[in-house]
């Protein structure tokens, strides 16, 4: 059967458009969902002009190390297209191994303070968006209005006009299943669970985490 010249041009045009569409789909960068925000909580340090280096397990002038399991938390801060965000501000704060914060608001907590634990760090991302901190694995604790809180770390990220306050959790923690804040978040909370990774210096437990801002 003969195909008319007009019909042939129509078919060729449709094929060309389809090919262009396929190229756009292939070349277009994937856009990742941003990391979920979490509440700052009541225990952000009242004074951050203190020792705040990347090793929270040691304080200047003290020979004894903070109590608890030493961990290294490594992260990468990325934009939604997967590009690293360099020079970004990263703040980390947390409870000690017993589940207590060195904060006036946690004075009713009967667990002991750790005089050798720094509890706060101010970091900056490298050219590849990476950062790391050596700390201890925090303990969980009870909150009268919320219930049991699973072990977690608090974070603030700032890159230009973009900011994120969130928390990170540890894989395989039984209390993850009963933490009311995690349950309230539902599926997005899975993006806040760090991955177990290679051991850090001095055989510290290693954890990795990508954050999308």
The two structure tokens encoding residue 211: 């954050």
Return the pLDDT at 171.
98
Q: How far is CA 101 from the centre of its chain?
A: 19
Return the pLDDT at 23.
43
Average pLDDT over residues 51-59: 97
pLDDT digits 0-9 by tens, 130-158: 999 999 999 999 998 889 999 999 999 99
Return the pLDDT at 145.
82
Return the pLDDT at 146.
85
Tell whether the model's pLDDT for residue 18 goes beyond 60.
no
Q: Spell out the domains of the chain, with CATH numbers in brackets.
A: 30-212 (2.60.130.10)
Tell whether the model's pLDDT for residue 61 goes beyond 70.
yes
Radius of gyration of the CA atoms of the chain, in A:
24
User: CA-CA distance, 126 to 200, in Å (whole number)?
Assistant: 18
Average pLDDT over residues 158-180: 96
User: CA-CA distance, 120 to 105, in Å (whole number)?
Assistant: 16
Which of residues 10 and 164 earns the better pLDDT score?
Answer: 164
Closest to 136 (Cα-Cα) out of 115, 122, 118, 156: 118
**What is this structure's pTM?**
0.85
Q: Which of 1-15, 31-45, 105-119 has the lowest mean pLDDT?
A: 1-15
Mean residue pLDDT across the chain: 89
């Amino acid at each position: 059967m003969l195909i008319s010249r007009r019909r042939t041009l129509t078919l060729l045009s449709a094929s060309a458009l389809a090919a262009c569409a396929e190229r756009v789909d292939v070349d277009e960068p994937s856009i990742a969902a941003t990391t979920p925000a979490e509440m700052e909580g009541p225990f952000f340090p009242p004074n951050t002009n203190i020792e705040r280096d990347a090793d929270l397990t040691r304080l200047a002038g003290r020979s004894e190390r903070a109590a608890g399991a030493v961990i290294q938390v490594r992260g990468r801060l990325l934009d939604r297209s997967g590009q690293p965000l360099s020079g970004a501000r990263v703040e980390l704060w947390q409870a000690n191994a017993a589940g207590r914060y060195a904060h006036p608001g946690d004075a009713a907590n009967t667990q002991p303070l750790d005089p050798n634990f720094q509890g706060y760090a101010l970091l900056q991302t490298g050219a590849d968006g990476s950062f790391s901190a050596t700390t201890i694995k925090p303990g969980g604790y009870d909150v009268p209005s919320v219930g049991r809180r699973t072990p977690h770390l608090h974070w603030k990220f700032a890159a230009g006009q973009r900011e994120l306050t969130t928390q990170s959790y540890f894989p395989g923690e039984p209390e993850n299943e009963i933490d009311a804040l995690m349950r309230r978040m539902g599926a997005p909370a899975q993006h806040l669970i760090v991955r177990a990774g290679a051991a850090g210096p001095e055989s510290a437990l290693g954890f990795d985490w990508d954050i999308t801002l």
